[in-house]
Amino acid sequence: MISWAVLAALVLFSAVTYVLGRRKLTAQVAGQAAGQVAGARSHSRPGYHGAYVMLWVAAPAAAVLMLHGAFGPRIESAIVRAEAPPVVQALGDQERAVFHDDAWALAHGHAASETLYAPDVRAALDAEAAQARNLGIAVHLGAVALAVALSIGGFFLAYGRVRPEFRARERVEQWTTAVLVACSVAAVLTTVGIVASLAFESFRFFQAVPPLKFLFGTEWDPQIAMRADQFATSGAFGAVPLFAGTFLIMLIAMAVAAPIGLFSAIYLAEYASRPVRAVVKPLLEVLAGVPTVVYGFFAALTVGPLFRGFFNGLGAELIGGPLNGLGLYLAQVQNQMALVAGAVMGIMLIPFVSSLSDDIINAVPQSLRDGSLAMGATPSETIKKVVMPAALPGIMGALLLAVSRAVGETMIVTMAAGLQAKTTLNPLDTVTTVTVQIVTLLTGDQEFDSPKTLSAFGLGLTLFVITLILNVIALRIVQKYREQYD
């Protein structure tokens, strides 16, 4: 890490050079004006000259420091690892990883793990920690020295150019545009990062588990021995039960959210008076702003026990009657049924569906409504026969976006749905979803290279592709529809 002092010094130095650049220009202009004819002017205002000098001083140095901050630790650890003594090379992969982590921790003043090392390894550990510390200092000093050299060099380069006829504003504006472009590229880089990281880790997973077996396998049981001496089954990575669970919960959520959200949107757009809208819309926005972890808490501790109590009570009534079997089943329904997670997720999606549909219904031209009403149709007939058909594609798009949200939603299902991978359409059964499994696989201490951990990336890639397809279709429909009436 670059210390704050270095950054502060850089900021201070660039501020000083800004003033210097400004001064030089003002002095030159004043000198020219005094020395010769009136009307001596510079192309750019003094501030641009100052900014030009400052940019040359600060930007390359800041880039070096940032690169060091991001990649420095990685370079250091690569060098240290490559030079490890034979005692360490002789260790197994696992032990060696722990060894390097501990050396790293010792070098940076953190607590090491409580592993007991053999004396010779322990000595190597201390040696490596010392080496890493020295190397860290060396790399750090190197980066700072390079930054200092660059900013001083930049200063002389830019300061020499400051002259009244120098087009400083154009140069500064070029810099500005470059920064703007770089910022927009950041958004693209995010996508590239997502795709690359998911694809890379999934590729490693698919080397262990064939993709077809993953996508169409019907058994999910990712138990794999963490160490060679542990006993465990070899694990099964068939994701169909997870897709089925995700689908079931999504269906339940949409069954709650679609009608309530749509009817709310219709009422708000077509019937509600101004004051009603002014109150109801913000309240629905509150519902949309509640963090999903809160919905999860609500599902796990309120809705779950409530539903379970209801079904268990109903089951107790039915036992001994003609529906004895159903009663026995209902009496032992668990908290973590798909219905609970689905219903709460539906509540979460209501404001999402209603605000999107509201926009879309409002975008239907008033002339269509006026025409229908003028023919003698009632408002509800107008809505059902004229407004809705016109808004339908847009609403389908909105619902697809909601489906995509439901598929990718994590916290509610993590807290309220179960872990048993089952392929079922019974809403009272416990199911698990793709997102729940990703969370379960990646929380807690896990070796990063086992197929068990890597399978989370396989699931993540699948999730990303599914939601991406849904989003692309939905956004295209919504956009196309908007253009039609704009």
Partner 1 sequence: MTDAALTPPAPTPADLRVAVAARLKARRARETRFRWYGRLAILTALMFLAVLLGRIVTQGYTTFIDYRMSVPVYVDPARVDASDLAGAGYDLLVADAVLAKLGEKDDEFGSASGKVMELLSTDLGFKLLQKLRADPSLIGKTVTVTGPVRADAALYYKGEIKRSTPQESRKLDDRQIAWLDKLKAQGMVSSGFNTSFLTRSDSTEPEQAGVLGAVVGSAMMLLVTAILAVPIGVLAAVYLEEFSPKNRWTAMIEVNINNLAAVPSIVYGLLGLAVFINWLAVPRSSPLVGGLVLALMALPTVIIATRSALKAVPPSIREAALGVGASKTQTVFHHVLPLAMPGVMTGAILSLAHALGETAPLLMVGMVSFVPGVPAGLTEAATVLPVQVFIWENASERAFHERTAAAIMVLLAFMIVMNLAAIILRRRFERRW
Among 70, 82, 228, 374, binds partner 1 (CB under 8 A): 70
Residues from 110 through 169 that contact partner 1 (CB under 8 A): 169
Asked if 159 contacts 24 with a C-beta cutoff of 8 angstroms, the reply is yes
| C-beta of 20 vs 44, nearer to partner 1 | 44
* Residue 181 interacting with partner 1 (CB under 8 A): yes
Helix (H, G, I), strand (E, B) or coil at 162: coil
Q: How far is CA 173 from CA 14, 158, 170, 181, in A?
A: 18, 15, 5, 12
* Residue 252 interacting with partner 1 (CB under 8 A): no
| C-beta of 229 vs 486, nearer to partner 1 | 486
220 has which bridge partners? 237
| C-beta of 292 vs 420, nearer to partner 1 | 292
Distance CA 317, CA 340 (A): 22
| C-beta of 84 vs 402, nearer to partner 1 | 402
* Residue 109 interacting with partner 1 (CB under 8 A): no
CB atoms under 10 Å from CB of 190, counted, come to 10
Among 12, 145, 294, 375, binds partner 1 (CB under 8 A): 294
Q: Which residue's entry shows tokens 């920064």?
A: 179
**Sign for the pseudo-dihedral over CA of 341, 343, 344, 349:** positive
| C-beta of 61 vs 262, nearer to partner 1 | 262
Residues from 435 through 454 that contact partner 1 (CB under 8 A): 435, 438-439, 442-444, 448
Q: What is the DSSP letter of 28?
A: H
Single out the residue of 317, 476, 295 nearest to residue 397, CA to CA: 476
Among 390, 457, 477, 481, binds partner 1 (CB under 8 A): 457
Residues from 379 through 398 that contact partner 1 (CB under 8 A): 379-381, 383-384
Residues from 350 through 369 that contact partner 1 (CB under 8 A): 350-351, 354
Q: Which amino acid is at 126?
A: D
For residue 323, the minimal CB distance to partner 1 (Å) is 30
| C-beta of 213 vs 277, nearer to partner 1 | 277
Window 254-273: contact mask with partner 1 (x via CB under 8 A) = -----xxxxxx-xxx--x--
Residues from 272 through 291 that contact partner 1 (CB under 8 A): 280, 283-284, 286-287, 289-291
By rule CB under 8 A, what count of residues binds partner 1?
A: 91
Residues from 78 through 107 that contact partner 1 (CB under 8 A): none
| C-beta of 115 vs 191, nearer to partner 1 | 191
**Sign for the pseudo-dihedral over CA of 186, 191, 196, 198:** positive
Total residue count of the chain as it appears in this document: 486
- Choose the stretch contacting partner 1; rule: CB under 8 A; options: 136-144, 191-199, 235-243, 367-375: 191-199
* Residue 200 interacting with partner 1 (CB under 8 A): yes
Asked if 427 contacts 339 with a C-beta cutoff of 8 angstroms, the reply is yes
Helix (H, G, I), strand (E, B) or coil at 85: coil
Asked if 98 contacts 81 with a C-beta cutoff of 8 angstroms, the reply is no
Residues from 402 through 441 that contact partner 1 (CB under 8 A): 404-405, 407-411, 414-415, 435, 438-439
Distance CA 171, CA 169 (A): 5
Cβ neighbours of residue 449 closer than 8 Å, sequence gap 6 or more? 204
| C-beta of 94 vs 302, nearer to partner 1 | 302
- Choose the stretch contacting partner 1; rule: CB under 8 A; options: 115-123, 218-226, 242-250, 461-469: 461-469
Q: Which amino acid is at 312?
A: N
Single out the residue of 437, 405, 408 nearest to residue 421, CA to CA: 437
* Residue 73 interacting with partner 1 (CB under 8 A): yes
For residue 277, the minimal CB distance to partner 1 (Å) is 10
Asked if 20 contacts 159 with a C-beta cutoff of 8 angstroms, the reply is yes
For residue 239, the minimal CB distance to partner 1 (Å) is 16
| C-beta of 194 vs 368, nearer to partner 1 | 194
Among 65, 84, 347, 399, binds partner 1 (CB under 8 A): 347
* Residue 341 interacting with partner 1 (CB under 8 A): no
Single out the residue of 235, 193, 244 nearest to residue 215, CA to CA: 244
Distance CA 263, CA 388 (A): 11
Distance CA 468, CA 485 (A): 26
- Choose the stretch contacting partner 1; rule: CB under 8 A; options: 231-239, 294-302, 317-325, 358-366: 294-302
CB atoms under 10 Å from CB of 104, counted, come to 20
Among 17, 28, 77, 372, binds partner 1 (CB under 8 A): 77
* Residue 331 interacting with partner 1 (CB under 8 A): no
Q: What is the DSSP letter of 237?
A: E
| C-beta of 164 vs 351, nearer to partner 1 | 351
Asked if 17 contacts 52 with a C-beta cutoff of 8 angstroms, the reply is no
